[in-house]
Amino acid sequence: MQNKNWILLFIIFFGCTKVKNNFTDSLALSAKPTLTMKKLVSVYGQLRGKGSTEIYGQQSGKFNFSFTSNGYDSFLLFRDILGRKILLLEIDGLSISAWDMIQNQKYTQTSLVILFPFIEYLSPRNLTKLLWGFVPDLNSEINNKFEFENKNVKMTFETNRQRIGSLIQKIAYIDESNMDKYEILITNREFGSNYPDLEKGIPQSIPITNP
């Protein structure tokens, strides 16, 4: 009789465990190595967050930014240390442009490389991927540039473990030829939320110029 009781308890215990696993939170499932940006976009639809950019070298400074993205279109608003809006970066699928809100001028993707050298190595799609927390798809040619063809340029990505999995938290770009360094830190991400004001984008009336 005692053995039967132990068997009954054994069945009840593992039966309850199985039922619990069947109701695992979808976020926990996403924490597996199969976590992808496509899955996050399909579950949440949108993302918003905040971060900071620090520049060292010939030019230096620190700028805070907020961002929002739907997985295809992304918008980043930069502010100076006084909180003034200075730059709105707009990623429209496969293109990128920026609005200098102080000079009231618009920059194209080509001219933006002067302001943000790492854009030369990161496509608009990869920049959006970074906002969502994933290492960009760097092809072999670019990887060779980082590691072999151009040893002066280095880019590193640091992840931080979150409830839904490990996501990119810090990006560093270093050009040792002129000792310029850019550090981008994502301090907060809110999945399922957005900043509607940012999604208004760059006004059509802003003139295009070169920096």
- pLDDT tens track for 142-165: 443 333 334 677 888 888 888 888
- pLDDT recorded at residue 193: 96
Is residue 11 in some structural domain? no
Terminal alpha carbon distance of the chain: 86
Q: What is the mean pLDDT of the chain?
A: 78
Find all residues with CB under 8 Å of 83, minimum gap 6, and list them: none
Is residue 3 in some structural domain? no
CATH of the domain at 135: 2.50.20
The H or E element spanning position 14 is: helix 2-22
- pLDDT recorded at residue 149: 37
pLDDT in tens, 70-99: 999 999 999 998 999 999 999 998 899 999
- pLDDT recorded at residue 156: 83
Q: The tokens of 4 are what?
A: 């039967």
Find, among 113, 102, 75, 104, the residue nearest to 207 by Cα.
104
Is residue 83 in some structural domain? yes
- pLDDT recorded at residue 209: 75
Is residue 15 in some structural domain? no
Is residue 10 in some structural domain? no
Is the pLDDT confidence value at 32 over 70? no
Number of domains in the chain: 1
- Determine the structural domain holding residue 84 and report its residue range: 32-209
C-alpha span between 85 and 104 (Å, rounded): 11
Query: Is 153 within 8 Å of 165 (Cβ atoms)?
Result: no
State percent of the chain over pLDDT 90: 42
- pLDDT recorded at residue 101: 94
Q: Is 8 helix (H, G, I), strand (E, B) or coil?
A: helix
Q: The tokens of 50 are what?
A: 């905040």
Is residue 16 in some structural domain? no
Is residue 197 in some structural domain? yes
Query: Is 68 within 8 Å of 48 (Cβ atoms)?
Result: yes
C-alpha span between 79 and 86 (Å, rounded): 5
